[in-house]
Amino acid sequence: MQSTNTRFVKKLQERKHICGMTGDGVNDAPALKKADIGIAVADATDAARSASDIVLTEPGLSVIVSAVLTSRAIFQRMKNYTIYAVSITIRIVLGFMLIALIWKFDFSPFMVLIIAILNDGTIMTISKDKVKPSPMPDSWKLKEIFATGVVLGTYLAIMTVVFFWAAHESDFFSEKFGVRSIRDHYPELNSALYLQVSIVSQALIFVTRSRSWSFMERPGLLLVGAFLIAQLVATLIAVYANWEFARIRGIGWGWAGVIWFYSIVFYFPLDILKFFIKYALTGKAWNNMLDNRTAFTSKKDYGRGEREAQWAMAQRTLHGLQPPDTSELFDDKNSYRELSEIAEQAKKRAEVARLRELHTLKGHVESVVKLKGLDIEGIQQHYTV
């Protein structure tokens, strides 16, 4: 049996598969060690545990599914942050460089520091954000990440340059919105430019964190709260602050409202650019764009059952346990009810299996205790089965 397991693992690896192996005995140790991921179950021997990469601490194999989903969620958060960091770096450098080269305008370095501090406070909350794990194994697609960051960052930089041109070289905002002109008023231009950069820089995180429309995937409350607090501080600084050392002067609530409106209008094309990049690189963007999602709901972990069922079905198809043509089930937008039923049935089967294992183990322990004449009450004070 030992050579058979090892031979299975070797054949799968020769065909470029990532092979995982579960086992509990000494005879499984060589295969566990050779597999890409060796998993020892809860009651495995010491030999199997030492040869494994992962040791399960609970009975049953359902914890493997939970571990995979959790790890994919962590990876998705890391990927979201990387795209955001690349986009913001290009946006800040390119935007301020173009303004400095075209208009010889020197933006306040102190305000750049304020933007960085507020951004860091908001981006820290992404570690607790709600994300949708990938239904299939994911990897670091550096070309896609860098391309997305470059395109989004360039768009935001151009958006800032256009705003500065309209405020500095024309009376567009004064004529259309009735606010006073700030042409050639450099401290007020500094304040207006600071608020515009701050709003869209932090709003970008809602685009990079989602695979579908950003306003259709509910973010974590901690992320939303951090964003609102940071932008409230930024708005108050732009409206009221008269800091000579930072070369800024308050612009009033009228200009603040205009800047917020401008930022919101030019925020929505970010999703379209994201889909375009995804389609240009993989051709699979429209599936994400057309998916039905609910942005705000009182239901906890909305869509989790569907995601788990989709993941389980994909794994069955991948390993030949189900015909490939049934994988088209998930392309139908009307199949969520069926997916929910599949997920619920899978959850019930996993719970029944766990209880059966627990009951069998408990009965075995009680029979051993009676046979050996041990003190069951004293044992239960220290161990729980």
pTM metric for this prediction: 0.65
CA end-to-end span of the chain: 31
Q: What is the DSSP letter of 295?
A: S
Ranges assigned E (strand) in 36-97: 37-40, 54-55
Amino acid identity, position 377? E
- CA dist 237 and 251 (Å) reads 9
Q: What token pair was written down for 300?
A: 């906890």
The pLDDT score that the predictor gives to residue 334 is: 47
One-letter amino acid at 179 equals: V
The beta-carbon contacts of 105-113 under 8 Å, at least 24 apart in sequence, are: 105/164, 105/168, 105/186, 105/189, 107/190, 107/193, 107/194, 108/190, 108/194, 108/246, 108/247, 108/248, 110/243, 110/245, 110/246, 111/190, 111/194, 111/246, 111/248
Q: In a 3-state reduction of DSSP, which class is residue 39?
A: strand
Beta bridge partners of 40: 23, 55
Task: Kindly report, residue by residue over 153-170, the tens digit of the pLDDT.
Answer: 999 999 999 999 999 888
Q: What pLDDT score does 298 carry? A: 44
For residues 338 and 335, give the distance between their C-alpha atoms in angstroms, rounded to a whole number: 5
Contact 25, 18 (CB under 8 A): no
- pLDDT higher than threshold 50 for residue 357: yes
Q: What is the pLDDT of residue 330?
A: 45
Q: How many CB atoms lie within 10 A of CB 37?
A: 14
- Residue-range domains of the chain with CATH: 11-57 (no CATH), 64-288 (1.20.1110.10), 305-380 (no CATH)
Whether the CB-CB separation of 5 and 21 falls below 8 Å is answered with yes
**Average pLDDT of the residues in 254-258:** 94
Within 209-335, residue ranges assigned H as helices are 221-240, 252-265, 269-281, 285-290, 304-318
**Which residue would you say has higher pLDDT here, 180 or 351?**
180
- Pairing verdict, β 54-55 and 20-23: unpaired
Q: What are the CA-CA distances from residue 206 to residues 29, 74, 83, 247, 359 (Å)? A: 46, 17, 11, 31, 46
Q: Which residue has the higher pLDDT, 66 or 313?
A: 66
pLDDT in tens, 120-140: 888 888 888 877 777 777 778
Token pair recorded at residue 27: 């005879």
Q: How far apart are CA 155 and CA 168, in angstroms?
A: 20
What's the mean pLDDT in 183-194? 90
Distances in whole angstroms, Cα of residue 191 to Cα of each of 14, 31, 79 = 61, 64, 32
Residue 333 makes CB contacts below 8 A (sequence gap 6+) with 290, 291, 292
d(Cα 217, Cα 27) in Å, to the nearest integer?
47
Closest CA to 346 of 7, 62, 124: 62
Q: Could you read off the pLDDT of 47-85 as tens digits, one per residue?
A: 888 888 888 887 777 777 887 888 888 888 888 888 888
Report CA 273 to chain centroid distance, whole Å.
18
CA distance 29 to 22: 10
The identity of residue 382, as a single letter, is: H
